[in-house]
Amino acid sequence: MGALYEDVERFFGDIFAAYGRILAKWPFCFIIASAVLSGLLGFEIDYVIEKVMNITDYEIVCARNDGQCAIDGMDSIRKWNRERSRVCGLSGANSDADDYLAITHKIGDCVDLAKALKIRFYLRRDNERILRDSKEWQKRFISLLNKLKSELNYTVVNYAATESLSIELNARVRVDLKKFAFTVLIMIVYTTMHMHYKLYYELNYSLLAILGSCGLLSVLEIPFADSCGVMPFLVLGVGVDDMFILMSGWRQTEITSSVDERIAQTLRSSAISVTITSLTDLLAFCIGATTPFYSVRCFCVYAGK
């Protein structure tokens, strides 16, 4: 029963918990090594863990188990620091050996060889203030590990956090936002000149749709990621694409026909194309809303709405 409980807890914890994760890899097996080399590796691992645990507010934001900060993978570190040459006693329901050690050779419950170690620091998410502090801690965590990578001589460190993708996407959005704005400006100018009328009247529909979508989702407390800032450009691009399709259909109609007949002929030839593009866009956003990536999910929800 205890094993089943821990399996369920770990499965759902991996999905919903906030965390900072470190994956340390070596070009050789680290447990069986010379005493000097093993000591150097141990120093680097302990050094990284100590630095992470000393990040500001860690004791406040860390999720706790039996009064201590919950860190998966620490059992392997503690046993390795005690025994150095062989790590034993990692089998059983409470073992994290298979989940957090890349084991290459194992005898019974003793690990002789391993090439990688994964450590996960769980964080609290019980209220808005703690959630905000956890996000700030993750930013400091990513910044710290990025600096530590250049300081380690024997260990290759890969790292991730719940907010990793959001932070990277937001950084890219800020860099590319000026390019997006310039591109949309060119598109508006070109379309206005091509259509020979004031396009901004037609843009009101897209603007109202965006404001209504953001307002509704904000009321529902769905987070607005920075990547959602490109949504107006995307909506405008889709609208302009449909506009060109309709204009192409309009110009294929007989000039001598009445306005009503020309509109009917335009919709007869172009409405299917517009409908298909709209449905495929909606389907793409619906699929994107199911992704585990936080920023992509928020963007797809806002854009699809």
HEC per residue, the chain: CHHHHHHHHHHHHHHHCEEEEEEEECCCCCCCCCHHHHHHHHHHHHHHHHHHHCCCCHHHHECEECCEECEECHHHHHHHHHHCCCECCCCCCCCCHHHHEEEEEEECCEEEEEEEEEEEEEECCCCHHHHHHHHHHHHHHHHHHHHHCCCCCCCEEEEEECCHHHHHHHHHHHHHHHHHHHHHHHHHHHHHHHHCCCCHHHHHHHHHHHHHHHHHHHHCCCCCCHHHHHHHHHHHHHHHHHHHHHHHHHHCCCCCCCHHHHHHHHHHHHHHHHHHHHHHHHHHHHHHCCCCCHHHHHHHHHHHC
Q: Are residues 46 and 149 located together in one domain of the fold?
A: yes
| Model pLDDT, residue 46 | 75
| Model pLDDT, residue 86 | 57
Confidence check: pLDDT of 276 > 50: yes
Confidence check: pLDDT of 245 > 60: yes
| Model pLDDT, residue 64 | 84
pLDDT band at 227 (very low <50, low <70, confident <90, very high): low
Q: Are residues 11 and 141 located together in one domain of the fold?
A: yes
Confidence check: pLDDT of 300 > 50: yes
| Model pLDDT, residue 292 | 74
Domain that holds residue 49: 2-162
Q: Are residues 39 and 146 located together in one domain of the fold?
A: yes
Q: Are residues 101 and 187 located together in one domain of the fold?
A: no
| Model pLDDT, residue 4 | 40
Listed residues 98, 131, 162: the one ending a domain: 162
Q: Are residues 217 and 292 located together in one domain of the fold?
A: yes
Report which of residues 107 and 164 the model is more confident about: 164
Instruction: Quote the pTM value.
Output: 0.54
Q: How many domains does the chain have?
A: 2
Listed residues 132, 162, 192: the one ending a domain: 162
| Model pLDDT, residue 26 | 47
